[in-house]
Homo-oligomer: A and B are copies of this chain.
């Protein structure tokens, strides 16, 4: 019995399909083989499926429903399709597609995902790993700037524990990674760029980490989204435009966003939506620049917007570089940090640099007991509430 599979030498019984014509069908056949080879409940170590460098087409969605499956390539293979499609004549180019262990996501099975991880029954799936290959959505529609094609790279669709997505490359997918109900997941070292949305942690989850990734999303998508997560660590990521929001936490608690570099073309860089409590946002570099696209948010939204109580925003640097004529609503004084709701939020030692007059902190009338220390001058505070303490930056 082997536990080491190679897509290039697998023959689907009775079929002429190969990894080049449909790598999805090949991997599904391998998974079926794993299940037949490992029938005993007490002896299911799983397997590793290797994808050598090459150009593969995926026509059939892969369903991962065995624990301990590792799917690995030898190259994340990113190249910028954005630059390529924006170039009128590429006939002299050396190459025009991504590469490495390169899977073209071209489903003909009616599904939108290249990979789905899902299983019913107990226990939940454990230790599924995706590593070091490339998922390429090929093109957006109706145009290459839309970020729309419906395609999903990897969807975790039932609860999992201790999954990993490491060192992958993904490009031109509407959704790169969508993971629901993940616990103790690691998403590390990935290159997720020119995707509509990069990382979406939905439904719930705890004690997961998103670290050391390079991320660029679309102007209506999320770079990192987490819903009802608890104890999430977002650290050491270099996140560049675009992105409706670079880190968007919805109803999350006791999580930490630290040591990230966060660059966007719009308001909305870190948003705590709904009821977010006791989260820490510290040691991040925020940079708001401009281009002609929009994410629909105006400059009163805040680079950071907080909804919920007892959060900390400490020791961050903010650079706001928007020419006066491009500020929206026209004539408005832009907001850097908006405390939109909640009690007991703390903002301290944030250095805000702006080429125009800004409100470094705005407190909604509903907010109470906000503490604002060394995060701007008195003139830069806009308090619609009277329930706060304030120490201006000297």
In the complex, identify which listed stretch (A42-50, A243-251, A332-340) lies at the interface while the others stay far away: A42-50
Residues in B neighbouring A42, C-beta threshold 8 A: 95-97
Interface residue A107 (Cβ < 8 Å from any Cβ of B): no
- Kindly state the separation between the CA atoms of A279 and B260 in the bound complex, as whole angstroms: 13
The digit string for A35-54, where 1 denotes a CB below 8 A from any CB of B, is 00000011111111000111
**B349 & A76 in contact (Cβ 8 Å cutoff):** no
Between-chain CB contacts (< 8 Å), 9 pairs: A44-B99, A76-B162, A94-B119, A94-B121, A99-B127, A233-B237, A280-B285, A315-B349, A371-B394
Name the residue of chain B whose CB is nearest to the CB of A48.
Answer: B74
- Chain A 79-101 interface residues, beta-carbon cutoff 8 Å to B: 79-80, 83-84, 87, 90, 92-101
Contact of A319 among B278, B283, B284, B351 (CB under 8 A): B278
**B162 & A78 in contact (Cβ 8 Å cutoff):** yes
- Chain A 224-268 interface residues, beta-carbon cutoff 8 Å to B: 231-233, 235-238, 240, 254-256, 258-261, 263
Residues in B neighbouring A206, C-beta threshold 8 A: 240
Interface residue A353 (Cβ < 8 Å from any Cβ of B): yes
Contact of A184 among B101, B214, B233, B319 (CB under 8 A): B214
- Kindly state the separation between the CA atoms of A282 and B169 in the bound complex, as whole angstroms: 30
Name the residue of chain B whose CB is nearest to the CB of A263.
Answer: B231
Given A94-B122, A189-B188, A256-B259, A351–B348 Cβ distance below 8 Å?
yes
**B255 & A285 in contact (Cβ 8 Å cutoff):** yes
- Chain A 120-171 interface residues, beta-carbon cutoff 8 Å to B: 121-123, 126-127, 129, 161-162, 164, 166, 169
Number of copies: 3
Q: In angstroms, how far is the closest chain B Cβ from the Cβ of A314?
A: 5
- Kindly state the separation between the CA atoms of A74 and B349 in the bound complex, as whole angstroms: 45
Interface residue A362 (Cβ < 8 Å from any Cβ of B): no
**B314 & A349 in contact (Cβ 8 Å cutoff):** yes
Residues in B neighbouring A364, C-beta threshold 8 A: none
Interface residue A191 (Cβ < 8 Å from any Cβ of B): yes
Residues in B neighbouring A259, C-beta threshold 8 A: 233, 235-236, 256, 258-259, 283
Residues in B neighbouring A87, C-beta threshold 8 A: 122
Name the residue of chain B whose CB is nearest to the CB of A256.
Answer: B285
- Chain A 197-245 interface residues, beta-carbon cutoff 8 Å to B: 206-209, 211-212, 214, 231-233, 235-238, 240
In the complex, identify which listed stretch (A10-18, A25-33, A65-73, A292-300) lies at the interface while the others stay far away: A65-73
In the complex, identify which listed stretch (A109-117, A172-180, A385-393) lies at the interface while the others stay far away: A385-393
Interface residue A310 (Cβ < 8 Å from any Cβ of B): yes
Interface residue A75 (Cβ < 8 Å from any Cβ of B): yes
**B191 & A287 in contact (Cβ 8 Å cutoff):** no
Interface residue A4 (Cβ < 8 Å from any Cβ of B): yes
- Kindly state the separation between the CA atoms of A236 and B97 in the bound complex, as whole angstroms: 33
